[in-house]
Structure formats: C-alpha cells, structure tokens
Amino acid sequence: MEKYLYSNICEISEYQYDVIVVGGGTAGCIAAIAAVTEGARTLLIEKNIFLGGTATGGQVTPMMSPGIPEEAELSYINKLVKKRLLEQQYGAADPYGNDGWFNPEMLKFTAEDIYMERGGRLLYDTQFIDVIVENSTIKGLVIYNKGSLQAVKGKVIIDCSGDAVVAHSAGVPCLTGDEIMHQNQASSLRFMVGNVDIPGVQEHMKRIGEPMVLEYPFLEISSVWDSPRPLTGIFQKAVEDGVLTYDDGRYFQAFSVPGMPGVVSFNCPEIPGIYNTLDPDSITGIAVTGKKMISRLYTFLKKYIEGFKNSYILSVASVPGIRESRRIQGKYVLTEEDYNNRAKFDDAIARTAYPVDIHGLIDEKKLDIRPFQKGEYFEIPFRCLVTGEIDNLLVGGRCISSSFVAQSSVRIQATCRATGEAAGIAAAYCSKEGITVGELDGKIVREKMLEKSL
C-alpha cells in the first residue's frame, strides 16, 4: 500500500493546485472561497455531497452572534454569505440584532454557488486518507473516492476537517478534550419537525409565562433543568409521567427557520455519557442514542406543547453536532487568560465576545471567567492557525490552537468562518510569493481582511 501511494505522488511532477482545502464545512468552504477569490488555483475536498458541514448537514441554525458590531467583524465572506441568504429570503435578522438566522438546506446552495462562481474546483464524496511528508512539507494528499485511491498535490494545504485530521496525520502535536481527563464536550443530534403551528406554540409559551417570546415568524424556546422557567416545569411533568427521561430534558432548544414556514429546528437532544468524539463507536452511539431521544422528545412535543398536534419529524441531521474534538498545538495557544484579559494582537484575524460555552463535564460557574461587558471582545492571532512542524499547512475552524476552555468560546460559526477566511487568504499569498506559512507575517493577512470587511 505505501509503495502504491508513493508511486502515485511521485508521478505528479508539478503542483496541480496552489491551495488544497480539506473539509468544506463551516470554515472550509469559506477558506476555499477566500483562496480562489485571491486568485489561487484551489481544490476543495469534501466527504459529503454538500458544503457547510455542521451548519447544513448538522442543521446548526441559527448562527450564534459573536457579540460584536458587524463593522467590527473581520470576515468579509461571512457578511457576503449572510447578505446573499437575506436577499434570497433564506436568512433573517431577529429583533434583538442577531442576523445569523438561516435556512440550512439553502445554505448548501449558496455556499456552493459562491465558490463555483469564482472558478474553484470541488471534489465531493471524497475522503482524506493520508499525507506524504518530506522535509517538513506536505508533498501530497492521498484521497479516496469512486475513482479509487488518488494523490493530489498543492503548494499550501488548509486543514478545515474539524478534527485536525491532516495536521494529526502529518505529525503535528494535538490535544483533545479537557487538559486533565481529555474528554470532549457533549455532542448533540439535531432534528427538524414540519407542519408546526408556530403561532400556536408562541401563544402557549406566552400563556404559561415564558419570558421573551419572539413574534412570528421567529420562534425560540428553551429549557434546562437548573432554570426555574415555566417550560422546565412541563418537562418535569413529562419525566414524572414516564414520557421523557431526565437526560432528554437536560438541554432543550428550538428555533424557527427562514424560508421554511411551519418548520422548527431543534438544538437537541444532547447525548449523555459520550465524551470521545474521535471514537467511531462513540459516533455510532451519538446516532443511535440520539434517534431514540428524538423519538421521545417528539412524543413529548405532540402531547404537551400546543402547536405540534399535526406535526411530523421532517429530518434528522446527517452530521452529528460535535462541538469539540482534536485541537492543534500551534505557534500560539489561545487560552482563557486571553479571554479574561480581552487580549488584542497585531496579527489578529478574528474577534469575538461569545461567552465560554461548555456542554457537559465542566461546571462553567466554577471557572474563573470574567463575563463580557458591552463593547468588550478578545482577538484570535494568525499564529493559532500555524503549526511549528509543517511549512505549508494552515488550520482553520474549531480545531485551531487553543485551550479546552478558550475553544468553547471560539467554536461558533462566525468565528470559524473568520479563521477559515484568514487561512484562505494566507494560503493564496504564500503560494503566490513562494514563502512558507511560518514566514508570513500575520499582519498582512489582518490588513487584507480589514480592507475587504470595511
């Protein structure tokens, strides 16, 4: 096998691409758009047959706000995607200022259109298999699809796999989970319910005394056990009646979806007891356990929540909601101290005021975390995307270099898109100038992002 793979890569005497992006998810599709926009010959490799990753296949909608004004955001492409979805009536802004409401099915079309319009090449249904590394440089990527094993060669590689699979395969030091037990955040399996009487749900929420009920077409309802809100009491009654288990009600959240009248998207169930998101048996467990929990939750909705009587389960996410897995140890490791100090960097490529948000395992209330005040934020330096081991590798998305706690703040879609955009711009620049990613001054990337975002 090894001889076969090496013989294939050796047959490629010239670089086929300036930039190759592995993973077309939240960060990866933005990285590829950025690279091709900068004029790089770009290949995007994606294991699914759609772009967007957890945002689309995982049905993670709406996009949580980074908590800063739009003019302070550094990602031009994030703004472009939101604007196009809004124009197509597949995006929306709620009365509280979050313009990240979107239709996950239609984002598949929008992300693909933006990339292909710029002339990028796309390979769907293609798995990354391995890297071929020589002298601290990735000489080629081994991939697998219907055309069997193949080798592709690019000047700069961007790992947006979510699990840092390219970096890990290339020997880059990585961490997974918290720094003590090495256990990952809890995962979810999202689902959608159709033919919901959303105004009926809203009236029910108002009648039982739920606070801050959004007006149609917006809907957001939520419940957790340590909240004394009225909806939590209904969950308690369902547990007492044997309709739900305690774990079913541990975390419950639901939203309406732009362009999908009568559809509600559920940010749950949160799967109990599975804290290794790199284990194939655990991923299977998320899928199997998750569907059983979805069945119970749906029975609960029809029986206890007005508006769901004539509804049906529309879909179950094809991608599990994994919040955190493997993280690289890059040239700079972002930490909770950076969060608490509202750290700023000369080579900053992303800004966020999103709170520390850890699901499972750790009680956030016991952490020494300073809540953000209005106008505060911290930054992510370009060095978090760069490894010290591989000269032509960049990393974007949730697996950038950070501590477990800091990652829980920077893992949201808007921030992942910004890191992906920075990686794409940097990769195109390095390819054009013939320099390594370690030689690139991150301030150049920051300046290019600022130019485009203003």
- To the nearest 10 degrees (0 to 180), the angle between helices 28-37 and 76-87 is 100
Q: Is the distance from CB of 239 to CB of 245 less than 8 angstroms?
A: yes
Name residue, tokens 């009236």.
203
Using the 3D structure, point to which of 263, 292, 316 is the last residue of a domain.
Answer: 316
Residue 221's domain comprises: 191-316
Shared domain check, 123 and 41: yes
Q: Is the distance from CB of 352 to CB of 324 less than 8 angstroms?
A: no
Closest by CA position to 431, among listed 74, 145, 57, 41: 41
Shared domain check, 125 and 107: yes
Distances (CA, A) of 79 to 30, 355, 372, 394, 453: 11, 21, 23, 23, 8
Say what the pLDDT of residue 331 is. Answer: 98
DSSP annotation string for 270-336: BPTT---TT-HHHHHHHHHHHHHHHHHHHHHHHHHSTT-TT-EEEEE-SS-B----EEE--SS-B-H
**Domain assignment present for 239:** yes
Shared domain check, 81 and 42: yes
Shared domain check, 347 and 229: no
Taking the C-alpha atoms of residue 448 and residue 454, their distance in angstroms, rounded to an integer, is 10
- The beta strands (E) that lie in 57-100 are given as 91-92
Taking the C-alpha atoms of residue 207 and residue 233, their distance in angstroms, rounded to an integer, is 14
Distances (CA, A) of 3 to 150, 165, 191: 13, 22, 44
CATH of the domain at 174: 3.50.50.60
User: For the stretch 370-388, what's the b/e string if a residue is b when 16 or more beta carbons lie within 10 angstroms of its beta carbon?
Assistant: eebeeeebbbbbbbbbbbe
Shared domain check, 442 and 400: yes
Q: Is the distance from CB of 28 to CB of 56 less than 8 angstroms?
A: no
Say what the pLDDT of residue 10 is. Answer: 47
**Domain assignment present for 185:** no
**Domain assignment present for 159:** yes
Shared domain check, 208 and 135: no
Question: What is the number of domains present in the chain?
Answer: 2
Both tokens of 282, joined, read: 């655990």
Both tokens of 119, joined, read: 């002339």
Phi-psi region of 164 (alpha: psi -120 to 50; beta: other; left: phi over 0): left
Shared domain check, 86 and 26: yes
Say what the pLDDT of residue 452 is. Answer: 87
Taking the C-alpha atoms of residue 384 and residue 446, their distance in angstroms, rounded to an integer, is 13
Closest by CA position to 393, among listed 9, 31, 97, 13: 31
**Domain assignment present for 186:** no
Closest by CA position to 187, among listed 362, 324, 385, 14: 324
Q: Which residues contact 114 (CB under 8 A, 6 or more apart)?
A: 33, 77, 80, 81, 84
Taking the C-alpha atoms of residue 274 and residue 285, their distance in angstroms, rounded to an integer, is 8
Task: Evaluate the omega torsion of the peptide bond into residue 217 and state whether it is cis, within 30 degrees of 0.
Answer: yes
Name residue, tokens 């910004």.
418
Phi, psi of 447 (to 5 degrees): -65, -40
Q: Is 445 helix (H, G, I), strand (E, B) or coil?
A: helix
Residues of the chain with pLDDT under 50: 1-5, 9-10
Phi, psi of 36 (to 5 degrees): -70, -30
Shared domain check, 242 and 147: no
**Stated pTM of the model:** 0.96
Eight-class DSSP state of 391: T
Shared domain check, 203 and 71: no
Shared domain check, 164 and 72: yes
Shared domain check, 13 and 138: yes
Number of other residues whose CB lies within 10 A of the CB of residue 418: 29
Taking the C-alpha atoms of residue 311 and residue 142, their distance in angstroms, rounded to an integer, is 45
Shared domain check, 300 and 378: no
**Domain assignment present for 260:** yes
Helix residue ranges per DSSP H, 170-229? 198-208
DSSP annotation string for 118-141: TT-EEE-S-EEEEEEEETTEEEEE
**Domain assignment present for 61:** yes
Using the 3D structure, point to which of 258, 290, 316 is the last residue of a domain.
Answer: 316
Using the 3D structure, point to which of 260, 291, 316 is the last residue of a domain.
Answer: 316
Both tokens of 163, joined, read: 């699990």
Q: Is the distance from CB of 92 to CB of 106 less than 8 angstroms?
A: no
